[in-house]
């Protein structure tokens, strides 16, 4: 025969769960020259065995009709949709034709030897080309993050932006970009067109041809209940979206970024009807139930120690079911630190979206997964070039250092030794913020100010009652509740005359001498805007 084609390898042939035969057009002397490799979704390769894993049916005339077809006989049935086959002709690098000086020369024998030499030349050419590719600069790996507003807000300061910058600063060929939008759900990603492009977010994500798709959806579906979809509908929406990418981007690795809205570490096995507000992100708290505080936000322990409402119990239950389905649909799941972000007070004024500092926590978890998860690193070899930079990239250490379990082992309090330890100065040096403790104190409020109140007043010494507030919003009225410790808390707020307001820069200072209150232990609260702060203890002696 003659070798009149340069084809020596073909594929990948993607499975679909149905097809069992795969035609090819590589010229062969016999089926033993064919090497068949199965490739899994995460990039693992397995060289298969003829007669065990597959069969080969060669065309009769390899000169006029080279090739044949592979019959897939895998023990698990047809090739799965997340697997592929690659085939290559492999010829032994030997010359076994022996031409005798006195003998006759059979043309077929000589032609076969020349054919084999041609095959060897093609094989070596392919090997050299493969080597050149491996030595060349690695192609940029594209990560598309399909999420809701937490992936685009604050603009240019989300964890997606931060991790993209981190890869660039490390010289790694990785490109992170977000393809989502605010208020996005699994359902809307498939059905709602972008106002400018006219395409859905699913279509825009798919058309970017990403190597990795990170799905960060579910909070809007279940916790915010956008669209009022039932639990069954939410799960069907997730299956449809993941299925869309399986069909249109079969080579892409799909990761699920879990924005967990409660303290899963301690409450994974706890029924939703037994979970307290202090173990959930503030959105699940709703508003205060204390006297006269309807529609107001508070971080008061007596309030956050309550069980979340039946409405929020249903939403958290829906999220748990949707989360379990998304973990099953994805190739790999990554646990982010959303509850930790919330508990540290690193949320914006809406008590929902992480601040730019909060996004560092989420980025830290994703970065850690890229360092440690074997499946992700096998699928994306470029991640194997990540270096160990130091503990400061691991915000889990900061969380463990800042907060500790309270005396009842039923919540978190600030660990006072944190301030004299390594992590707090590190936080200040790297992130330029010294207010972390105040964020933690008022973690469920819209505003997270610093408030200092004189806690002991000696009337005989004409001590002053001093109140200092900073980092509030400007020009807001300040109202108070005041009651003797042990009495019922009043439901009516007192307005000062003249009215007291925060300054144009969000500060407030007040002082009062000759306090006209009986000796005893008192409680005082402050209402500023939609937030309640306190109660603060004030001991009056005399």
* Domain boundaries along the sequence of the chain: 9-96+103-135, 141-274+311-389, 450-541
Q: What is the pLDDT of residue 81?
A: 77
Whether residue 314 is predicted with pLDDT greater than 80 in this model: the reply is: yes
Helix (H, G, I), strand (E, B) or coil at 521: strand
Q: What is the pLDDT of residue 94?
A: 61
- Closest to 344 measured CA to CA, from 270, 438, 257: 438
Q: What is the pLDDT of residue 136?
A: 45
Percent of the chain with pLDDT over 90: 61
Alpha carbon 462 to its chain's center: 57
Neighbours of 471 (CB within 10 A): 17
Its CATH architecture, for the domain 450-541, is Sandwich (2.60)
Q: End-to-end distance of the chain based on CA atoms, in angstroms?
A: 114
Decide if 184 contacts 152 (C-beta within 8 A). no
Contacts of 11 (CB under 8 A, 6+ apart): 84, 85, 86, 87
Whether residue 537 is predicted with pLDDT greater than 90 in this model: the reply is: yes
Establish whether domains 141-274+311-389 and 450-541 are of one fold: no
pLDDT digits (tens, 9 = 90+) for 243-276: 999 999 999 999 999 999 999 998 999 999 999 9
Mean pLDDT across the stretch 381-390?
Answer: 88
Place 439 in a pLDDT band, splitting at 50, 70 and 90: confident
The answer, yes or no, to whether the previous bond of 98 is cis (omega within 30 of 0) is no
Decide if 366 contacts 461 (C-beta within 8 A). no
pLDDT digits (tens, 9 = 90+) for 131-161: 545 444 457 999 999 999 999 988 889 999 9
How far apart CA 84 and CA 88 sit, in angstroms, is 14
Q: What is the pLDDT of residue 104?
A: 62
Q: What is the pLDDT of residue 108?
A: 67
Beta bridge partners of 39: 45, 84
pLDDT digits (tens, 9 = 90+) for 454-494: 999 998 888 899 999 999 999 999 999 999 999 999 999 99
CA angle centred on 347, ends 233 and 230, rounded to 5°? 10
Helix (H), strand (E), coil (C) string for 392-424: HHCHHHHHHHHEEECCCCCCEEECHHHHHCCHH
Percent of the chain with pLDDT over 70: 87
Give the CATH number of domain 141-274+311-389. 3.40.50.1110
Q: What is the pLDDT of residue 100?
A: 66
Alpha-helical segments (H) within 104-230: 107-135, 159-169, 186-191, 201-207
CA angle centred on 404, ends 400 and 408, rounded to 5°? 150
Query: Which carries the bigger pLDDT value, residue 219 or residue 156?
Result: 219
């Amino acid at each position: 025969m003659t070798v009149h084609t340069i084809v020596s390898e073909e594929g990948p042939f993607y499975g679909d769960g149905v097809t069992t035969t795969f035609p090819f057009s590589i010229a062969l002397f016999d089926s033993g020259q064919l090497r068949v490799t199965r490739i899994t979704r995460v990039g693992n390769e397995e060289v298969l065995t003829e007669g065990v894993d597959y069969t080969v049916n060669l065309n009769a005339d390899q000169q006029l009709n080279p090739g044949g077809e592979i019959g897939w006989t895998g023990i698990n049935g047809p090739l799965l949709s997340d697997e592929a086959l690659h085939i290559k002709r492999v010829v032994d690098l030997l010359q076994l034709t022996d031409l005798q000086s006195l003998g006759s020369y059979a043309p077929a024998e000589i032609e076969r030897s020349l054919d084999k030499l041609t095959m060897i030349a093609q094989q070596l050419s392919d090997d050299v080309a493969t080597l050149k590719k491996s030595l060349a600069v690695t192609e940029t790996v594209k990560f598309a993050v399909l999420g809701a507003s937490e992936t685009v807000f604050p603009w240019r300061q989300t964890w997606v932006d931060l991790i993209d910058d981190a890869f660039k600063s490390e010289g790694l060929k990785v490109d992170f970009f977000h393809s989502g939008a605010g208020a996005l759900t699994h359902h809307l990603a498939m059905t709602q067109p972008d106002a400018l492009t006219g395409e859905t977010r699913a279509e825009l994500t798919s058309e970017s041809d990403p190597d990795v798709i990170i799905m960060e959806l579910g909070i809007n579906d279940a916790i915010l209940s956008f669209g009022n979809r039932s639990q069954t509908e939410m799960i069907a929406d997730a299956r449809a979206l993941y299925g869309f990418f399986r069909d249109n981007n079969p080579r892409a690795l799909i990761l699920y970024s879990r924005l967990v809205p409660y303290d899963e570490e301690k409450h994974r096995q706890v029924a939703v009807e037994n979970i307290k507000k202090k173990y959930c992100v503030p959105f699940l708290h709703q508003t205060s139930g204390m006297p006269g505080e309807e529609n107001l936000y508070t971080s008061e322990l007596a309030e956050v120690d309550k069980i979340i409402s039946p409405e929020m119990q249903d939403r958290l239950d829906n999220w748990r079911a949707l989360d379990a389905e998304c973990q099953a649909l994805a190739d790999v799941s990554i646990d982010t630190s959303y509850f930790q972000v919330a508990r540290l007070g690193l949320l914006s004024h809406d008590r929902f979206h992480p601040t730019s500092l909060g996004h560092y926590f989420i980025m830290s978890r994703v970065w850690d997964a890229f360092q440690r998860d074997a499946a992700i690193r096998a699928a994306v070899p470029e991640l194997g070039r990540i270096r160990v930079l130091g503990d400061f990239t691991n915000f889990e250490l900061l969380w463990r250092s800042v907060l500790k379990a309270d005396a009842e082992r039923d919540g978190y309090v600030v660990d006072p030794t944190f301030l004299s330890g390594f992590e707090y100065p590190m936080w200040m040096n790297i992130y330029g913020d010294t207010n972390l403790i105040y964020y933690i104190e008022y973690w469920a409020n819209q505003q997270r100010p610093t408030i200092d109140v004189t806690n002991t007043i000696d009337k005989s010494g004409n001590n002053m009652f001093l109140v200092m507030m900073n980092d509030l919003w400007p020009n807001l009225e300040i109202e108070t509740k005041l009651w003797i410790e042990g009495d019922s808390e009043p439901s009516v707020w007192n307005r000062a005359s003249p009215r007291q307001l925060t300054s144009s820069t969000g500060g407030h200072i007040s002082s009062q001498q000759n306090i006209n209150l009986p000796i005893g232990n008192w409680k005082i609260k402050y209402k500023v805007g939609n937030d309640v702060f306190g109660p603060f203890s004030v001991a009056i002696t005399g």
